[in-house]
Amino acid sequence: MSHLQCGRFQLDLSSPHIMGILNVTPDSFSDGGRYSTLDDALRRADAMLAEGAAILDIGGESTRPGAPDVSATEEMDRVLPVLEKLKQLGAPLSLDTRRAVVMREALRIGAVDLINDVSALEDEGALETVASANVALCLMHKQGNPDTMQLAPRYDSVVDEVAGYLSRRVALCRDAGIAANRLLVDPGFGFGKTLQHNLMLLDRLAELETTAGVPVLVGLSRKSMLGAITGEEAPAERLGATVATTMASLDRGAVIVRVHDVKANWQAMKVWQALRQLRA
Ligand code: 8Y7
């Protein structure tokens, strides 16, 4: 049975898991930073765990397309107190950051179990920082940077290029001494991709695990591609579309699904598991 070595925890990967998103940004993607105070963050975290989240992803830098830059100091001021506070939950916590300095300071608190880096450890010193901890790591693909990435995404063969990039990042991590059972890969839906690119990556998701040799995490929750497909402009109203992508991702082998709405996606996952049991 395979497990993800995840800091203080081992996540059993014989069945999939829900990762709940906890944004602590005043300009966050779709919840408007409503959980910016510590007590609100704790309440929200508690609720997501009660609804079935196996891990919570805490982020203090909005990576929304066109988002303004946040300084490292500002990012730390946002996430470090939240990590201190959520440590008491005794639940697996993921930190969404691209900065080595933020990773280092956060790891000292002893409450970070997974580093979720949308730049796949491109920051100087990030690789060494993660290698010297015992945390899990999600390597995500993106083309370009959040401020410009959606202007003109271009690929000759999107699935091959994303799979190739993720394989190379996995190899780099393995060479730095990070065990394979600490690694996850993610195609980075919406990060420098058109609707067609996103759809091809979702349809052929299983190829990423085969090529990179480690399990796949996906983040599709409320994303603009779902707005493009349905015509629904309000991100919070894209739950039906999100749940559909959860089912499609699980069918194609994803082991962790990163979502805002834990309850509905957890229910979908339970239905998916019940069906899978029939064939066990
Ligand atoms: C993803 C992500 C975001 C994703 C991983 C949003 C931080 C935009 N998207 N991390 N982060 N995968 N691993 O809509 O797709 O939540 S931010």
Q: Examine the residue annotation and report whether 34 is marked as an active-site residue of this protein.
A: no
* 118 C-alpha to ligand 1 centroid (Å): 7
Using the atom order of ligand 1, give the atom closest to the CA of residue 217: 13
Using the atom order of ligand 1, give the atom closest to the CA of residue 62: 17
State the Cα–Cα distance between residues 6 and 136, nearest whole angstrom: 5
Query: In this predicted structure, what is the pLDDT of residue 65?
Result: 67
188: DSSP letter: -
Query: In this predicted structure, what is the pLDDT of residue 26?
Result: 65
Q: What does the pLDDT look like over 142-196, one tens digit per residue? A: 998 878 888 889 999 999 999 999 999 999 999 999 999 999 999 999 999 999 9
**The residue to which tokens 């994803």 are assigned:** 254
pLDDT at 103 over 80: yes
pLDDT above 70 covers a percentage of the chain that reads 94
Name, in order, each residue with C-beta under 8 angstroms of 191's C-beta and a sequence gap of 6 or more: 63, 118, 140, 141, 142, 143, 146, 149
Protein residue with least CA distance to atom 9, ligand 1:
219
* 117 C-alpha to ligand 1 centroid (Å): 9
Using the atom order of ligand 1, give the atom closest to the CA of residue 63: 17
Q: Examine the residue annotation and report whether 223 is marked as an active-site residue of this protein.
A: yes
Catalytic residue among 78, 98, 223, 238: 223
State the Cα–Cα distance between residues 236 and 226, nearest whole angstrom: 11
Q: Which domain holds residue 111?
A: 3-279
Catalytic residue among 258, 263, 276, 279: 258
CATH of the domain at 149: 3.20.20.20
Residue 225, phi then psi, degrees to nearest 5 = -60, -30
pLDDT at 30 over 50: no
User: In 84-182, where do the E strands start and end?
Assistant: 93-96, 114-117, 136-140
* 279 C-alpha to ligand 1 centroid (Å): 32
Q: Say how many domains are in the chain.
A: 1
State the Cα–Cα distance between residues 156 and 247, nearest whole angstrom: 28
Q: What does the pLDDT look like over 35-56, one tens digit per residue? A: 448 999 999 999 999 999 999 9
For the chain, the C-alpha Rg in angstroms (whole number) is 17
Q: How large is the average pLDDT for residues 88-116?
A: 97
210-229: b (≥16 Cβ within 10 Å) or e: ebbebbbbbbbbbbbbbbee
Provide the token pair at 175.
């060479």
Q: pTM score, two decimals?
A: 0.95
67: DSSP letter: P
Name, in order, each residue with C-beta under 8 angstroms of 262's C-beta and a sequence gap of 6 or more: 18, 20, 47, 48, 51, 52, 53
Ligand 1 cavity residues, CB under 6 Å: 21, 29, 59, 63-64, 96, 116, 118, 138, 140, 186, 188-189, 217, 219, 223, 258
State the Cα–Cα distance between residues 192 and 208, nearest whole angstrom: 17
> To 10 degrees, the CA torsion angle through 43, 76, 70, 141?
-80
- Among 17, 63, 119, 242, name the best residue to mutate to test ligand 1's pocket (greatest count of ligand atoms within 8 A of Cβ): 63
Name, in order, each residue with C-beta under 8 angstroms of 279's C-beta and a sequence gap of 6 or more: none
* 120 C-alpha to ligand 1 centroid (Å): 12
